[in-house]
Chains A and B, each alone.
Chain A
């Protein structure tokens, strides 16, 4: 929170309101005058883009729920009813489905921006951890949403993912039945997923509010990672960043609209146009693309480790891949934030990025031949990067000299 207030009530009504509920003061301080580093690049617009994505999903989702029927006999046809009969239903449904993919595209960019510029470092650890929790909850929400159309992929995705919990020793089987509400995925599962899929986005929205609160305590990181020193380093959020974010959002809507209007099914899977059938599994079951990296890690463990069998091992590995993200602030203890000034880190970062794309690609491939080996290599590097490379680099790497301030850095650029 900024120390001194910049808000002066303009008239009697504003003053009256300000003494009772200072929303206008809050908005002025946090959404208009908030001092923001003036050197933020376009990678920093993805926060605003993500707020937009969440809004789009909530609005279209509420509408879809008005027309959808969560029942195993009716769900599939009710989604088709939305596409065929509801006014504008094809577009609204496509926006929600494509929106999930766009949401994750933006999420991954936002996370990778953070990892490169060291935004997770002190004093922004809580801000970062809230972000990772939002990411995990968003994956849960997306997964449950994918079950709702009750196609073949919905059903078998639900079966496979809920089976993850059966790996837990002793209580696994009971937990599995508890989650499914039956011995197999069925009507109770569909109903609870619908209920939770409706609830989670609001939980996520609340966490986003905390995330932004946590952002406004220390303020934004910036591409050079040097703290704001004076008001010369910053500009007010409005109009500078409101306009820049708005511009980026509209640019983001272009590929978004392309998929909605010209290829609404290309991000999905043909098998999900076949109604769920508990007797037949589709030949390839593949999760949605945004879950693939973690799916690869889950599958990569196909061997027993001591008393841990391969199934539990895979689940632990997948869990650890999230834990690794959560503890990054304490693994990477280098004092320099930005990857721009870390000559060795930069290359490992690129390797990590390629490795992550590799994990995504491998998740869509059949688990056979060379793909199995590659999946193990990529999984191994994922963990090595977090638990070996980052701690070691923080000790041995010699960073490049840092600019003394943001103003100096931007002036240098202008005169170069």
Chain B
């Protein structure tokens, strides 16, 4: 049995060897949130995704595209749980570019990707004071946070994958009207930029996008009233961005449970088989 223990120790050692993930550097530590989709049992909260979608659509989508998201994704398993009809109606509200039809644009269908808010990257920059609003499709996985030693080691065992959403939520809440006392010494805010605690370099091109009561939520049946605050909006839209970046999370974990169960069973049986075979052989 000692051999098995050394083997397991080696596996643990190998995994702890793997270097910590670096990410956008933040001056203030980012508070980790309890997300419904965290951990091995985590799944998306449909109501939260629907609220987040509403915030994205009413606030963010005028500047931020989501080119990898198709309307049909909104009705797919493990997502915000819209019905096929809702998605069809939603898609039809948008005009999509299609060079094969007369006039070059037509009404959207569920198979279409989310239309880009700007025709070209240069248009996007011109409309935003030279800054490019990043596409949201995988943004939640393109951001992260730096975990100090030793917690990045534990992350391999807890499967912590919410650094991006924690960062995005913190960023949306990290604005200041004026440069605060906590700013680095000698910090000068360039013209047309805004101070943010968590943005690398602190000078962000995006004006504070959210205000209290900006988006009116309609509570789902049996759901408690959701506060109409910037904090709530930021949390919801961050969750929605996680879904955009990883739409298959729920089914991936479900498959994972079946695979793990199988592996433990098969490993157990193989151990017995192996022991039977080696019985009577001194080794």
Contact = CB atoms under 8 A, between A and B. Distances in A.
In the complex, the 5 A-B pairs of residues with the closest C-beta atoms, listed nearest first: A261-B256, A364-B19, A273-B142, A263-B159, A270-B144
Given A41-B3, A84-B247, A267-B18, A109 B10 contact: yes
Interface string A244-260: 10111011111101101
A247 B277 contact: no
B252 A80 contact: no
Contacts of A91: 252, 255
A125 interface: no
A403 to B, nearest CB: 13
A227 interface: no
Contacts of A274: 142
A283 B24 CA distance: 8
Interface string B78-102: 0000000000000000000000000
A38 B283 contact: yes
Interface residues of B, number: 59
B270 A250 contact: yes
A360 B19 contact: yes
16 contacts: A42-B4, A42-B6, A42-B7, A77-B68, A80-B137, A240-B278, A244-B278, A246-B270, A254-B260, A261-B252, A266-B161, A269-B22, A273-B138, A289-B17, A361-B19, A364-B20
Interface in A12-64: 38-43
Contacts of B106: none
A271 interface: yes
Interface stretch (B47-55, B218-226, B261-269): B261-269
Given A83-B248, A257-B263, A263-B161, 11 more contacts: A90-B248, A91-B252, A105-B14, A105-B15, A248-B7, A261-B253, A262-B40, A270-B164, A273-B142, A292-B19, A407-B282
B163 interface: yes
A101 B160 CA distance: 18
B180 interface: no
Given A261-B255, A363-B19, A411 B163 contact: no
B14 A108 contact: yes
A243 interface: yes
Given A90-B252, A255-B15, A270-B143, A261 B68 contact: no
Contacts, number: 147
Contacts of A413: 282
Nearest to A106: B14
Main secondary structure of the interface of A (DSSP, over half): helix
A42 B160 CA distance: 30
Given A42-B4, A263-B161, A270-B141, A240 B10 contact: no
Interface in A292-329: 292
Contacts of B270: 243, 246-247, 250
Nearest to A412: B282
Interface in B116-160: 137-139, 141-144, 155-156, 159-160
A25 to B, nearest CB: 24
A266 B25 contact: no
Nearest to A256: B263
B192 interface: no
A247 B271 contact: yes
Interface residues of A, number: 62
Nearest to A112: B10
B209 interface: no
B255 A273 contact: no
Contacts of A363: 19
Nearest to B283: A38
B183 interface: no
B41 to A, nearest CB: 10
Of A83, A357, A360, chain B has the most CB atoms within 10 Å of the CB of: A83
A286 interface: yes
B188 interface: no
Nearest to B138: A273
A265 interface: yes
Given A261-B260, A262-B256, A364-B19, A283 B144 contact: no
A182 interface: no
B282 A411 contact: yes
A284 interface: yes
B142 A270 contact: yes
B200 interface: yes
Contact of A260 (B163, B256, B271): B256
Nearest to B271: A247
A239 interface: yes
B181 interface: no
